[in-house]
Amino acid sequence: MDTKLIQQYGEDILCYRIRTARQKKRMQYEDFDKQLIQLDKYQTQLYEQHRQLGWEPLLPPVQKGWIRHFVLREDVARNKHADFFENILKKINSFHYSWRKDFKKKKRRRGRKIYVVRPQRLLKLDEWNFNRLKFTETEKQFFHELWETDTKRQLVKRYVFKQEWRFVLKVRPNIIDKVRQRDTGLESEMRLVGNYIEKNDLKGRQAKLLHGSLEKWNTNKYFEKYNEANPFKNKSLIQILDILKHN
């Protein structure tokens, strides 16, 4: 508080908690931050209401491109263990969508643009998803561990199915037979809130309030931390195999 006010009115003025200009300015910022947090909660509620609207049948159904996924090979499907491998496939199957039936994509090779078939593999499960899917002990025997680097250049352990030859790819039309129900009032409110955040460039401030600092990674420091945390750094092949064996 300003010392001139204390000298003029005495120390009794302290009990009135008169705020300085700096404190008032800070309170305005804090109040605006609280409004942004409440706005994020309100936006989340709107999205949840939109998600719970449910679906309605689309008449007539329409085709939107093609879908490709794995199925049991014919000889495996006739085997007495078909149900066993079908249950595994439900947990590790992958689905790709394309507007082309041959699932080719454009690629440049030696200066020329050619079309090549998009590759597709079964899912490689990380440790958390592998435990979440609750494989039986018998099913676990058909997986082997594989160490590889993820998008953050960190080593992760994944579980890969050993006998991929049991499954083959199948292409079928992607039929849309249902659509989400619409609520024009709810959609209008969602656009109103979204436009306000986007036009005033408030996404960054919201993210900082909700998730912490937005300071960008320093690339050099990040790779230094990765190399320090890497247990295989400066290790020979024998030492690496020994570490994997004990893990």
CA–CA dist 84, 88 (Å, integer) = 7
The region of weakest confidence among 68-72, 208-212, 235-239 is 235-239
Residue bearing the bigger pLDDT, 225 or 161: 161
* Mean pLDDT, rounded, for 135-154: 89
Residue 175 pLDDT greater than 80, yes or no: yes
Residue 223 pLDDT greater than 50, yes or no: no
pLDDT (0 to 100) of residue 20: 76
Reduced to 3 states (helix: H, G, I; strand: E, B; else coil), residue 94 is coil
Residue 10 pLDDT greater than 80, yes or no: no
* Mean pLDDT, rounded, for 61-71: 94
Mean pLDDT taken over the chain: 84
* Mean pLDDT, rounded, for 8-17: 60
Neighbours of 105 (CB within 10 A): 13
pLDDT (0 to 100) of residue 13: 59
Residue 204 pLDDT greater than 90, yes or no: no
Residue 14 pLDDT greater than 70, yes or no: no
Q: In this structure, what token pair is assigned to residue 200?
A: 């005033």
Domain regions of the chain by residue span: 1-54+181-215, 217-247
Helix (H) or strand (E) holding 160, with range, is: strand 155-161
Q: Identify whether the C-beta of residue 210 lies closer than 8 Å to the C-beta of residue 44.
A: no
What values do phi and psi take at 72, rounded to 5?
Answer: -70, 140
The region of weakest confidence among 5-19, 110-124, 135-149 is 5-19
Please name the residue that has the structure tokens 């010392």: 3
* Mean pLDDT, rounded, for 109-114: 85
Please name the residue that has the structure tokens 């037979």: 177
Indicate the pTM of the whole model. Answer: 0.63
